Chain A
Amino acid sequence: MNNKVMNPYLAGFLLGLVLLATIFVTGRGLGASGAVKNVVVAAVDAVAPAHAARSPFYSQYVGAGKESPLKGWLVFEVAGVLIGAFASGLVSDRLRWTTEAGPRVATKTRWLFAILGGALFGIGAQLARGCTSGAALSGMAVLSTAGFVTMMAIFGSGYLFAYLARGLWIAQKQGK
């Protein structure tokens, strides 16, 4: 596997330019979790339209006169992310079916915790109105208070729980 990556500051600068272009052209920021929400809302509406119409959550996004959530801006943006990341993996020779886990973690355990982590992000991103991309990064770029609060909460909480989760990511120190 090719592990060579771009200089992080150059990558950050380029990422900043993509975000700036997004704000300049469309007046809004980038995101990710919103696309997942749109897909879930569309799925619930397709499977149980009556339930979606009754629910105070889903009814915000579906109903008469509203565009399908699948035609949302973030859904198209995330489709682009998939294409762009795939292209990058292709040029850098990183396309592999693999599971990446800490040195002491079995594959199945890793999958379980990935689902759990994803679910927590799904919940947290609804409360915070966005995830690391849509709330923290994009919010910070426009100096939104919410952006800075969300960013500090995500990373602060990551450090707070890092000790408890150390078994998932790092090998035990030698001599222990």
Chain B
Amino acid sequence: MAPFAPDLISDQLNLVVALVLGVGFGFVLEQAGFSSSRRLAGLFYGYDFTVLRVFFTAALTAMAGVLILGSAGWLDTDAIFVNPTWLAPAAVGGIIMGLGFILGGYCPGTSICAAAIGKIDAIFFVLGGVVGVFAFGEAYPLLKHFNDSTSLGPVKVFSSLGISQGLFIVLLVVAAVGAFAAAAKVEKLVDPAHAPSLTFPVRTHVSFGAGLVALAVVLALIPDYRTRLLSGATREAAIPANPVVRMTPDELAFRIVDHEPRLKIVDVRSAAAFSVLSLPGSVNISLPELLGKDAASSLSQRHVKKLIVGDSEGQERAAYFLLKKLGYENLAILEGGIPAFNGTILAPTAFVSTGSRWDGDVRRFREGAKTEILKQVQAAKAGGAKKPKVEKKVQGGC
């Protein structure tokens, strides 16, 4: 599952990837005509809306791509970098940049493109950028307080607005298509002889606009991949006739005592319950987390039996069918869940006869297993092995 950095792509290789993607970025920006300051400035005087068209089409394309890939389960959207928000600095920084745009005729990315093809004004713009960063760096002690204010974290725009993601996408696309249409009108009014929109095939553009709105509506209506899988798994788990592989508490106890290497205990209970008492060697992954990239890496060994333990068999079955849908094999659930394991092994109530003549052996085994497993639990707690490992996270931002 994507993204491939930082685990599949090393930090070193990622720099090569950066160079390659940069080549694509620079090539497209220059082909779009972004190496011309007069074209860029045209946005603000109405004679050339190229920036508006390229910028919003690019944002919508990437946005739709992220949603589609996420919805298909190919991209873990929780693992990608979402620019955190510092509300007031973002607004003030943007206002300063807007003034820089209208005075300087470029933004940093376009100035680098223009400098690459020999625009001397762009080279001065880049040098100005160096001066600006240095000035900010020197003045930082004075600005730090404001710079760190109104921090909201990696918040998404639709939740800031209090609407659903789908509705936001539809509204945004409608606004963009409306802006595209209005831009063509304004351009032709301001500069009837040279407006770039004069060369556009109008009918093609109108059908594309309509198609875009339709796509947005479809995207908004498709339920998220996670929601879809989770509800599907819960539905399947609720049908008693659907078979699952089950493991008895005695068998599990035997395997734990035996330090069975081909067993991975996946605890799907809450983190709170897990921290109170957890089986030796188990990992705590909640149901929604099973869909993420991190779970994939710890459950992918096919020859290892994945034993799901939870508060109840119902919860275990939901996780079982979820993992089955995700393509995992060699799964099992613990009979009766953790409560049954406690009742049989760790904190046994009155012994219930198994009806065979081996009752005495079973009792002795359970008593021995209890001592041994509790010892392992204590050892794990003392060793601090239960500390959740710190995942390498994707870094980003300018």
Name A residues whose Cβ lies closer than 8 Å to a Cβ of B: 3, 5-9, 11-34, 36-37, 39-41, 44, 55-58, 71, 73-74, 76-89, 92, 94-102, 110-111, 113-162, 165-166, 168-170
Whole-angstrom distance between the alpha carbons of A86 and B28 in the complex? 11
Offer 18 A-B interface pairs, CB within 8 angstroms, sorted by A. A11-B28, A26-B4, A29-B83, A30-B22, A85-B117, A94-B30, A98-B120, A102-B41, A114-B128, A124-B92, A127-B86, A132-B97, A137-B55, A145-B157, A145-B160, A146-B85, A156-B98, A158-B44
Shortest CB distance B220–A (Å): 13
Does residue B208 face the partner (Cβ distance < 8 Å to A)?
yes
- What are the residues of chain B within 8 A of A14 when measuring CB–CB? 28, 31
Question: Which stretch in B137-145, B241-249, B284-292 binds the other chain?
Answer: B137-145
- Among B29, B36, B58, B101, chain A packs the most CB atoms within 10 A around the CB of B58
Query: Are B80 and A142 in contact, CB atoms less than 8 angstroms apart?
Result: yes
Does residue B327 face the partner (Cβ distance < 8 Å to A)?
no
Query: Are B63 and A141 in contact, CB atoms less than 8 angstroms apart?
Result: yes
Query: Are A151 and B94 in contact, CB atoms less than 8 angstroms apart?
Result: yes
Does residue B103 face the partner (Cβ distance < 8 Å to A)?
yes
Known contacts A118-B111, A129-B89, A145-B155; 5 additional CB pairs below 8 A are: A81-B25, A88-B29, A117-B101, A142-B82, A157-B97
Given contacts A33-B398, A120-B103, A133-B108, contact A19 B81 (CB under 8 A): no
Given contacts A57-B140, A114-B121, A137-B55, contact A26 B14 (CB under 8 A): yes
Query: Are A12 and B108 in contact, CB atoms less than 8 angstroms apart?
Result: no
Query: Are A85 and B116 in contact, CB atoms less than 8 angstroms apart?
Result: yes
Does residue B107 face the partner (Cβ distance < 8 Å to A)?
yes
Whole-angstrom distance between the alpha carbons of A34 and B298 in the complex? 34
- What are the residues of chain B within 8 A of A101 when measuring CB–CB? 37-38, 121
Whole-angstrom distance between the alpha carbons of A58 and B56 in the complex? 34
Whole-angstrom distance between the alpha carbons of A150 and B39 in the complex? 21
Output the nearest chain B residue to A30 by Cβ-Cβ distance. Answer: B25
Instruction: Mark B110-132 against chain A: 1 for CB-CB distance below 8 A, else 0.
Output: 11111111111110111111111
Shortest CB distance B282–A (Å): 28
Whole-angstrom distance between the alpha carbons of A152 and B42 in the complex? 17
Query: Are B83 and A166 in contact, CB atoms less than 8 angstroms apart?
Result: no
Name B residues whose Cβ lies closer than 8 Å to a Cβ of A: 2-6, 9, 14-33, 35-39, 41-45, 47, 49-50, 53-63, 65-66, 69, 75, 79-87, 89-122, 124-138, 140-141, 143-144, 146-147, 152, 154-158, 160, 165, 168, 196, 200, 205, 208, 394-398
Shortest CB distance A101–B (Å): 7
- Among A30, A92, A111, chain B packs the most CB atoms within 10 A around the CB of A30
Query: Are A18 and B28 in contact, CB atoms less than 8 angstroms apart?
Result: yes
Query: Are B131 and A130 in contact, CB atoms less than 8 angstroms apart?
Result: no
- What are the residues of chain A within 8 A of B49 when measuring CB–CB? 8
Given contacts A26-B4, A85-B30, A169-B38, contact A120 B158 (CB under 8 A): no
Query: Are B118 and A97 in contact, CB atoms less than 8 angstroms apart?
Result: yes
Given contacts A37-B133, A156-B98, A158-B101, contact A84 B5 (CB under 8 A): no
Shortest CB distance B72–A (Å): 12
- What are the residues of chain A within 8 A of B47 when measuring CB–CB? 170
Whole-angstrom distance between the alpha carbons of A111 and B283 in the complex? 61
Whole-angstrom distance between the alpha carbons of A29 and B98 in the complex? 21
- Among B22, B137, B140, chain A packs the most CB atoms within 10 A around the CB of B22
- What are the residues of chain B within 8 A of A56 when measuring CB–CB? 140-141, 144
Whole-angstrom distance between the alpha carbons of A139 and B127 in the complex? 25
Shortest CB distance A70–B (Å): 11
Query: Are A85 and B35 in contact, CB atoms less than 8 angstroms apart?
Result: yes
Query: Are A8 and B398 in contact, CB atoms less than 8 angstroms apart?
Result: no
- What are the residues of chain B within 8 A of A44 when measuring CB–CB? 134, 137
Output the nearest chain A residue to B96 by Cβ-Cβ distance. Answer: A124
- What are the residues of chain B within 8 A of A20 when measuring CB–CB? 61-62, 65-66, 69
Q: Which of B30, B143, B157 contacts A148 (CB 8 A)?
A: B157
- What are the residues of chain A within 8 A of B133 when measuring CB–CB? 33, 36-37, 40, 122-123, 125-126
Whole-angstrom distance between the alpha carbons of A33 and B137 in the complex? 14
Query: Are B18 and A73 in contact, CB atoms less than 8 angstroms apart?
Result: yes
Whole-angstrom distance between the alpha carbons of A113 and B341 in the complex? 75
Q: Which of A19, A114, A161, A162 contacts B58 (CB 8 A)?
A: A19
Q: Which of B15, B56, B109 contacts A32 (CB 8 A)?
A: B109
Q: Which of A77, A102, A160 contacts B19 (CB 8 A)?
A: A77
Query: Are B26 and A15 in contact, CB atoms less than 8 angstroms apart?
Result: no
Output the nearest chain B residue to A132 by Cβ-Cβ distance. Answer: B107
Query: Are A100 and B130 in contact, CB atoms less than 8 angstroms apart?
Result: no
Query: Are B53 and A9 in contact, CB atoms less than 8 angstroms apart?
Result: yes
Whole-angstrom distance between the alpha carbons of A131 and B28 in the complex? 18
Output the nearest chain A residue to B56 by Cβ-Cβ distance. Answer: A12
Given contacts A80-B25, A120-B104, A133-B108, contact A27 B396 (CB under 8 A): yes
- Among A19, A27, A37, A88, chain B packs the most CB atoms within 10 A around the CB of A27
Query: Are B23 and A95 in contact, CB atoms less than 8 angstroms apart?
Result: no
